[in-house]
Structure 1
Amino acid sequence: MMQLKTWALALTLGRVVEATILQNGQVRETNFPETKISDLSAYDFNTYDADAAEISYKGRWDSKKVSYWSAPGFVFGFSGDTVAITFGKDTVNGTLIGYRISGMDWIFTNVTVGGTHLLVTPETLGIGETYPVNPQRFEMRVSNWGYGVQIDKVHVRTGESLIKIPPYNRTIEFIGDSLSAGDFQSYEGLSSFAYGVGEGMGETEYYVTAFPGICVADQECWGNPRGQVHQWFYSSDTSWRATEIWGDNPEPWDFEKMETIPDIVVINLGTNDNNVANNVSAEAYVDAYKKLIQGVHGKYPKAQVVVMVVPLLSNLNPEP
C-alpha cells in the first residue's frame, strides 16, 4: 500500500510540474487576456496614424512601421484612460506583445492581423497611479524575436490626445545573436540578457539588434542568409518574414533619423561562427568583426564599443 501511495504521489507531482511553469517561484501566466475589439463601431475614438509625431519608435522599424529584430517597441504619452492599437497586414498572427503604463508590470497579449486591440481601459494596472505627474506613459514592446507587428493606427478616446515623450539622455545598443535576442527565454525579447541590462540601467534607451543563429561573418549560418557585418546596416533582420516583405532588396536602416544615438554599443557575437557546422575560418571571423566595429564607429563616432568575449573559440583555426 505504501508503494502504491508513493507512486500516486509521484504521478501527481509529475502532472503538476508538467502543467505549471514557475518563474521566480511564481506561476507564470500563459493564458493571456483577449484584447481584440469585435465591433470597432461601438467605440468613439480619436485616431492617429502610425507615423504620428507623438509616437517614439524604439529599436528597428521599417518605413512601413513593421517591427524587426528583438524587443522593438514604441512610447507615447496620452490623456484619458483608453488606448487601442490597430495592427496592419504585415503583422504575424498571434505575435506576443508586452505593454505597460508608466513603468508598471508588463501585461501580455497576442495580437492579430488587421485587428484593433483595446490595451488600456480604466481598470488597467497603472492608470491614475502617477497622478499628479502627467502625461501617463504608454510603452509597447514586441516579445517574440521571430515574429513582428505592423502598426496601422493608434486610438484614444474622443477628446483625448497623444503626447510626445522626450527620450532618455542615455542610450545603449546590443548587437548579437540568440543570447541578446532572448532565444528560448520565457518571454524571449523581454526576458533576454540585453533587455535585462538595458532596462536595469534605468532611464536608458535600449535597442536590441540581435537574431538567433546569426554569424558576424557574412555567410549563411543556421538559416540566416547574411551575417551581422552586413545585416546590421538594414532595418530588417534575417527572418523569413523580412524576405516576404522586402525580397532581395531590404531597406537600409536610416541612421540619420534615429531618435537617440547610442553612447554604448555591446557586441556579443561569435558563438555561431565558432560552430563547425557553419565552417567560418578564423580569418573570416576576425575580418568581419573588425569591419563591424569600424562600421559602428562610422555611424556612432562618439560611442564606446564593448566586445563581449566568446569562450571556446578553438574551432576558429586558420586553415593550414
Structure 2
Amino acid sequence: MSEFITYESKCSDKAGVRYIGRFDFSDARGPKFAWPASTIYAKFYGSSVSTKIRSLGDNYFIIIIDGEVVINSLKLSEGEEKIFLLASELILGEHEVSIIVRTEFYLGTAQFLGFDFDKGKILTPATPLNRRIEIVGDSISCGFGNEAENREIEYSPKYDNSYLSYGSIAARDLEAEYIIVARSGFGLIRSYDGNKLNVLPEIYPRILPDKDDTWQFESFIPQVVVINLGTNDFSSGFIPNREEFTVAYIKLVNKVHKNYKEAKIICAIGPIIDGNALTVTRDYIKNDVVNKLNKDNEINNKWLYFLEFDHQVESDGYGINGHPSLKTHEKMGRSLADFIRKILK
C-alpha cells in the first residue's frame, strides 16, 4: 500500500528530506532558509510531486527532477503560501526532486512546508556527496543579474540565478555539494555605498542572515572554502586602508580555518575589478594575506591559496550593471574547478 505524506508531518522531517545549506528548524511547521542556492532534496517512488512553500519576500526557485531543470523560475511573492505541482505523469518509479533558491536573502526568507507525492512515497535519500565546497562572497558569488541580456536592463530578482553562478558550476563539475554565503553590495570592511556596518564577516556565522542565531559549522564541513570579497570595498575608486583591510581579511580567514581545520581556503579576486583597484587588491590579498599567512605556517601543511579570475570581456556579454554574464560565470566555474583539482591533487 502506498504511503501518503502530508505537508506538516513526515514530509517535513529531516529523516526523509535532505537540506543542503543553512536551514533554521526552530519552527515546527517547517524549516526556514534564505541564503542563495539553499537546496531541498528528496528521493521518491511515484509519478508526481507537489510542494508547499511559504514566502516572506519575493523569492524565485529552480525545480529539478531527475537531474533536469523542469521549472527555471518559480516565483512566490511576499506573504504567499502556495501548493505547486512540480511534476506529473512521470514514469512510475524512483525519482529525485530538488528545490533550489535562485535569489538572495535580502529579498526575503522562505519556509518549506513539505512535499506531497500523491499515491507515491518518500524514499531514503541518496548518500550525501563526499566532496563539499563553501563559497563566501558578494553579488558575483550570488549570480546577481547574470540572466539579463545586457547591462542596461532594469534590475529585477528574476534575473538572479545562483544555480548558474560560478561556484555552483564548479561544484557540479566536481560532483560536490555546496553552500553559498554571500550578499550583493557587501564587502569585507565596507559596502558598495561605503556603509561600514553592512559587511559580510558580520553575518557570515548566522543560520539566517537577518537573525543572530549561529550556524553549527560542524553540520557542513567542506574540503574547500572560496572567499571572493573586495570588489565592493574598492568600489567607485575608493582605496581602503591597507592595514584595516588586510587585518579584517586575515581575521575572516582565521575564522574559517578554525571552523574547518582540514579545508583548503582559496582567496579569490575578479572578474569585475580592474585598473589601479585591481593592482592594489591583488597586492593586499596575495602579499599581505596569503603569502604572509603561508610564511607563518608550516610549509608542508599549506592550506591557503590565491586565485585571480580572468577579467570579464565584452564579447562574453554583461549581466545587470556590468556584473558577470552567464558565459563569464561558466568560464569562472571551469577555472575554479580546475584550480581545486590542482590543489587537492
On whether the aligned pair clears a TM of 0.5, the verdict is: yes
Q: Aligned letter for 2:64?
A: R
Distance 1:91 1:166 in 2: 31
2:98 aligns with 139
Match of 1:161 among 92, 117, 122: 122
Q: Which residue is 1:274 aligned to?
A: 234
Which residue of 1 is the match for residue 35 of structure 2? 69
Which string of whole-angstrom CA distances, capped at 9 and with x for unpartnered residues, describes residues 208-243 of structure 1? 1111111112x5554784322221111123xxxx3x
Equivalent residue runs for 1:195-210 within 5 Å:
195-201=168-174, 203-210=175-182
Preserved contact between residue 229 and residue 291 of structure 1 (Cα < 8 Å)? no
Q: Counterpart of 2:65?
A: 101
Q: Which has the higher helix share?
A: 2
| Counterpart in the other structure of 2:15 | 53
Q: Which has the larger radius of gyration?
A: 1
* Cα separation, 2, equivalents of 1:91 and 1:135: 32
**1:20-63 residue CA offsets vs partner (Å, 9 max, x unmatched):** xxxxxxxxxxxxxxxxxxxxxxxx95223434312111122223
Deviations 1:178-210 (A, max 9, x none): 111111111421222222222222x21011111
The 8 Å contact of residues 221 and 278 in structure 1, kept in 2 or not, is answered as no
Counterparts of 2:185 and 2:84, CA distance in 1: 32
Task: Using the aligned pairs only, state the percent identity.
Answer: 25
8 Å CA contact 1:56–1:165 kept in 2: the answer is: no
The answer for unaligned runs of 5 or more in structure 1 is 1-43
Rounded Cα–Cα distance in structure 2 between residues aligned with 1:277 and 1:188: 28
1:285 aligns with 2:249: no
- How far apart are residue 286 of structure 1 and its match? 0.6
* 3-state SS, counterpart of residue 290 of structure 1: helix
Whichever residue aligns with residue 152 of structure 1, its letter is: L
Distance 1:291 1:110 in 2: 38
Contact 2:66 2:95 in 1 (8 A): yes
CA pair 139-116 structure 1, distance change in 2 beyond 3 A:
same
Q: Secondary structure at the match of 1:215?
A: coil
Distance 1:168 1:162 in 2: 17
Residues 196, 106 of structure 1: alpha-carbon distance in 2 compared, 3 angstrom cutoff: farther
Q: Displacement of 1:158 after TM fit?
A: 3.6
| Corresponding letter in the other structure for 1:72 | S
Aligned-partner SS, 2:141: helix
CA contact (8 A) 2:191 2:232 kept: no
In structure 1, the residue matched to 2:50 is: 84
Secondary structure at 1:157's aligned position in 2? Answer: coil
Report the CA distance shift for 1:315/1:265 in structure 2 as closer, same or farther (over 3 A): closer
Does the C-alpha gap of structure 1 residues 212 and 304 become closer, same or farther in structure 2, counting only changes over 3 Å?
same
Q: Which residue of 1 aligns with 2:85?
A: 118
Counterpart code for 1:121: S
- Whether the 8 Å contact between 2:185 and 2:191 is mirrored in structure 1 is no
Q: 1:277: how far off?
A: 7.6
**Residue-pair matches, total:** 251
Residue 264 (1) aligns with residue 236 (2): no
> What is the match of residue 6 of structure 1?
none
Distance in 1, matches of 2:144 and 2:86, equals 26
Q: Aligned with 1:294: secondary structure?
A: helix
- Equivalent residue, structure 2, for 1:180: 141
